[in-house]
Structure 1
Amino acid sequence: MPTSVLRGALAAAVALLTFATPAAADAAAERVPALVLSEPTGPHPVGTTSLHLIDESRPDPWVAEKTARELMVSLWYPARTAQGRRAPYTTAREAELLLKELLIKDLPADALSRARTNAFTDAPALGHDRGLPLVVLSPGFSAPRSSLTTLAEDLASKGYVVAGIDHTYESAGTAFPDGRITTCVACRSLDSPGFGKKATRGRAADVSFVLDQLLGPDPAWKGARLIDPSRIAMAGHSLGGASSAWTMLTDARVRAGINLDGGFHIPIPSKGLSRPFLLLGAVKSHKPGGQDPSWGRDWRRMTGWKRWLTVDGMDHPSFSDFPLIADRIGGGRLPGSRAVEITRTYVGAFVDLHLRKRPQPLLEGPSRRYPEVEFWNDSRRSGTVLETA
């Protein structure tokens, strides 16, 4: 995806979250309540914790003087009890920086920092040794790991460990335990030649390092023994989704991947990608023949189980938590709760199929329950020939 498309993605987020008139903006800012995240649909309470990880084997790709790569990672997991302090959605400063990055001046930052989440900080984990599959989440460019919280909480409630990564200096704001706040240094390089390839490779390296820290002999999380290292998937939004395929090509531990509305910056090589992959995107950009040709190109090189789905009424930001924010200030084309439900349902079905071997009729064709979702992988169902993409 060229950098112009990345800028367009940011612009779409701004359009979704801005108001019709200055007067309406002022009025809405006064009355907008704190965000309330959709409740998880699984049977388990959700626990969460944060990890500060330092990779001394490589320098930071965006700040030359940083000789080590530092990351903040959130883990969500099934918990034994729903007790304790609810986890914050973001810090106050992270919320301010995110709204600034999106050029949103009239939404109070505490509408995000005071958001009601469904996970309890450091709650005891539920599970047995090597009993829980792992899903790694990578957010969109400039977005923090918190932007995929609704998806993470839902997967955790269904018995998954979920690792959400803040890709430092690519997020609008990342808070570290010592009080430091890093900002989106990479945003200054968005128009540089090869930016998308560099960012994709960097994200793959981040994911592999996080897996090393969770699965190695001295794991960074005390509950890491619960993770089954043979059942790992990666899902991402935008740049994070585009990075899922490259991560799978460079790290065999990732057994299945999901791209949520992200264009591919590095083509899948001619040898192909043989492991399962799901493409789930907005109609405008990612139907065959749409604005982003990279899906059609790489679809042909996916040689394993694959699906190509688009969702009518969802825009680029719709595959994150942003639609819930939009609902607080007037709403988007599709209600935020519906956008969240669709993303959760199809991602959950994919990982249940490929990490738990549970049959998923939902992924076999169109559903009456979700008429917004169109299948493009089978011309007999969609009436469209993929070769025109």
Structure 2
Amino acid sequence: MRLAALVLALVLAPLAGRAQPLADAPALSAPGAYAVGVRTLTFANPGQPDLLASDLANGKIARRDRVLPVTVWYPTAKPKAGAAVVRYMQPGTTPAAPPVFYRTGGAYPDAAPVSGQHFPLVVLSHGYRNWATSFADLAENLASKGYVVASIEHRDLEPKTLANPQLSFATTLITRVADQRFVIAELTRTAGEGPLRDVYDPDDIALVGYSMGGFGALTTLGAGLDPQGPLYKLAPFDLLKPFTTLDPDFAAGLPKGVKAMVALAPWGGAPPLRAWSAEGLAQVSVPTLLVVGDQDDVSGYDPGVAWLYANLAGADRRMLVYENARHNIALDGVTPAQAGDFKEIERHEEPVWRRDRILAINRHFITAFLDQNLKGDGAHGAYLAVPTPRAADGTWSLAPGASVGDRLAGPDDANTADYWPGFQRRWALGLRLLHAAPGSPPDAPR
């Protein structure tokens, strides 16, 4: 059955303009059976703080409607021959600057969605100074498998364009959680109307965040910021108070339909700007997948994301670790035009890992995690049950001179029971996957 599904995916993938999966990609990384449509929705969150327009010296905080474009990928029917695929645009460095084309995608702009099946909804939140479509590889892949993926354009301010560059990060701190909660609420409210009417299920949601998006996701889903912590003091005039338990509306504002969280290299766990207390993190109760490089020098590993994993004690959580990877374990990577620019490579790539390999592994594990928690798919969830925390410790014995070619280990295959399911022999390497149930002590991060 696995072979049949893979063949179907390979046949249908070109119909959606998507690249065929790598020959060494793990089992669940291949695209699904649906072609993918894409469109942009726009929401406006009224009365949000605007630090740039504020008189901070006199404590006067200006407020305005915060406009949030949201790029949405969704299953669509087979397109007509010759249908144009999307051209992804990177926002300009200032609000007035025009967007810049950077990559051709595999989705079809404004195609009619498959309606009436109420697909699970995935809300995606990018990192600091990234943009909504910089995770298009994952978004298109999930949409092809029967998800609706809504990626928020947070419009982070470019520090070099500001008279006071510190206002860029301060603005991000006070908007990430508000943006996420507002967009989830709006998508929930409008599920029965507009161009995506009856396409997704507002009671079956996952929140996926990278870096500052991961910081937002943890707080959005219940980890109130520590009002005594060092991070709280960075935002002026108690503007972070709504995201702490000091605010009586914080717990009441938890999104009701979110059933799972994926936090990719989430920022905020490491000193000196640790955002939460251990008690605050323990309030998160949704199943959680953390993904991190053990050499992450932005979010930190230990202390950092491994500390988050240890203290998310109220959640069933897993942590996928890329050995010898730094912070860039989520982005789509540089374009060919950027390949000669080290600044772009340093911002988007990894010094050790292949980008296509990272993307394939992320698709595999995120698919398994979301299918298990949003679709109740135990067969795909079984790919999370690895026999050894460290991939290199798995064994797949063969007789002398024997070969298995490109065969994948299977979760129900007794001959590969001691090897990571979904991977080819010799190819499950450089990874760790840890698991802890709610209330139980976590596996050791190393």
Q: What TM-score comes out, normalization by structure 2 length?
A: 0.62
- Structure 2 partner of 1:355: 374
**Contact 2:180–2:216 at 8 Å: present in 1 too?**
no
- 1:123 deviates by 0.4
- Structure 2 partner of 1:87: 86
**Contact 2:48–2:63 at 8 Å: present in 1 too?**
no
CA deviation map 1:240-278 (0-9, x unaligned): 122111111232332211111122353261652121011
The aligned amino acid for 1:89 is: Y
CA deviation map 1:331-383 (0-9, x unaligned): 752222111101111111111111011121221224244423212347xxxx9
Aligned with residue 309 of structure 1, among 320, 326, 330 = 320
**Contact 2:52–2:167 at 8 Å: present in 1 too?**
no
The verdict on how the C-alpha distance between 1:292 and 1:52 changes in structure 2, with shifts beyond 3 A counting, is same
Structure 1: unaligned runs, 5 residues or longer: 1-35, 99-108, 174-182
**Contact 2:295–2:324 at 8 Å: present in 1 too?**
no
Structure 2: unaligned runs, 5 residues or longer: 1-16, 21-29, 55-61, 223-253, 269-273, 392-419, 437-441
- Structure 2 partner of 1:267: 276
- Structure 2 partner of 1:124: 112
The aligned amino acid for 1:255 is: K
Alignment of 1:241-252 (within 5 A): 241-249=214-222, 250-252=254-256
- 1:158 deviates by 0.5
- Structure 2 partner of 1:115: 103
| Higher RCO, Cα 8 Å, sep 6+ | 1
- Structure 2 partner of 1:321: 332
Structure 2 distance, partners of 1:191, 1:122, is: 33
Matched, 1:385 2:436: no
The verdict on how the C-alpha distance between 1:261 and 1:186 changes in structure 2, with shifts beyond 3 A counting, is farther
Structure 2 distance, partners of 1:281, 1:162, is: 22
**Contact 1:324–1:337 at 8 Å: present in 2 too?**
no
- 1:135 deviates by 0.3
- Structure 1 partner of 2:228: none
- Structure 1 partner of 2:401: none
- Structure 1 partner of 2:363: 344
The verdict on how the C-alpha distance between 1:283 and 1:125 changes in structure 2, with shifts beyond 3 A counting, is same
The aligned amino acid for 1:363 is: L
- Structure 2 partner of 1:228: 201
Structure 1 distance, partners of 2:335, 2:365, is: 18
Aligned with residue 154 of structure 1, among 129, 141, 149 = 141
SS of equivalent to 2:221: helix
Aligned with residue 138 of structure 1, among 125, 134, 140 = 125
Structure 2 distance, partners of 1:372, 1:218, is: 41
Matched, 1:42 2:41: no
Query: Cα RMSD over matched residues?
Result: 3.6
Aligned with residue 188 of structure 2, among 203, 215, 224 = 215
- Structure 2 partner of 1:33: none
Q: What TM-score comes out, normalization by structure 1 length?
A: 0.71
- Structure 2 partner of 1:106: none
Aligned with residue 188 of structure 1, among 135, 160, 165 = 165
The percent identity for this pair of structures is 24
The verdict on how the C-alpha distance between 1:138 and 1:206 changes in structure 2, with shifts beyond 3 A counting, is same
- Structure 1 partner of 2:289: 278
The aligned amino acid for 1:121 is: P
The aligned amino acid for 2:79 is: A
- Structure 2 partner of 1:4: none
**Contact 1:214–1:221 at 8 Å: present in 2 too?**
no
Aligned with residue 176 of structure 2, among 196, 199, 203 = 203
Aligned with residue 67 of structure 2, among 66, 70, 73 = 70
Structure 2 distance, partners of 1:73, 1:227, is: 15
Corresponding pairs, count: 318
The verdict on how the C-alpha distance between 1:52 and 1:384 changes in structure 2, with shifts beyond 3 A counting, is closer
SS of equivalent to 1:228: strand
SS of equivalent to 2:283: coil
- 1:203 deviates by 1.5
The aligned amino acid for 1:362 is: Y
CA deviation map 1:296-338 (0-9, x unaligned): 1453233221101211354312311125669944975222211
Query: Relative to structure 2, which stretch is displaced further, 364-373 or 334-343?
Result: 364-373
- 1:85 deviates by 2.5
The aligned amino acid for 1:263 is: W
Structure 1 distance, partners of 2:165, 2:194, is: 34
The verdict on how the C-alpha distance between 1:238 and 1:124 changes in structure 2, with shifts beyond 3 A counting, is same
SS of equivalent to 1:124: coil
Structure 1 distance, partners of 2:135, 2:218, is: 19
CA deviation map 1:156-179 (0-9, x unaligned): 1111000000112x1659xxxxxx
- 1:294 deviates by 5.1
Compare CA radii of gyration and give the structure with the larger one: 2
**Contact 2:177–2:216 at 8 Å: present in 1 too?**
yes
SS of equivalent to 1:322: coil
